[in-house]
Amino acid sequence: MKIICVCGLGQGTSLILRMNVETVLREMGIQAEVDHMDVSSASSMPADYIITNNELARSLPDHRAQIIIVNNYFDLEEIRQNLKEAM
């Protein structure tokens, strides 16, 4: 399973989201390849899931991946809940 964590520039915020997603997946016992990048790069990358905020998700309307919306990239419980619902 391939997951991409997306922010506007693909630097700090998406890296934090990636680390938090990896933590939650580890706790859930799920193995996945998790990467982080900017929204422009993500638009052409294959993935099973893209995790981003609502605003950036609107920039990815034609992507084949399932989009998971997370409003607070620091909130492990929100990340966990939204991953569970998507998977």
Q: For residue range 35-87, what is the model confidence (pLDDT) as tens digits?
A: 999 999 999 999 999 999 999 999 999 899 999 999 999 999 999 999 999 98
Alpha helices in 1-87 (DSSP H): 12-28, 39-42, 54-57, 76-86
Alpha-carbon distance of 81 to 64, in angstroms, equals: 22
Task: Look up residue 81 and give its amino acid.
Answer: Q
Q: Does pLDDT of 12 surpass 90?
A: no
> Where exactly are the structural domains of the chain?
2-86
Torsion of Cα atoms, 7 then 37 then 34 then 2, to 10°:
100
Residue 5 binned pLDDT confidence (cut-offs 50, 70, 90): very high
Assign a CATH topology to domain 2-86.
Rossmann fold (3.40.50)
Helix (H) or strand (E) run with residue 67 in it: strand 66-69
More confident residue, 9 or 75: 75
Dihedral, CA of residue 10, residue 54, residue 73 and residue 66, to nearest 10: -80
pTM attached to this predicted model = 0.93
Q: What is residue 83's predicted lDDT score, i.e. its pLDDT?
A: 96
pLDDT of residue 10: 64
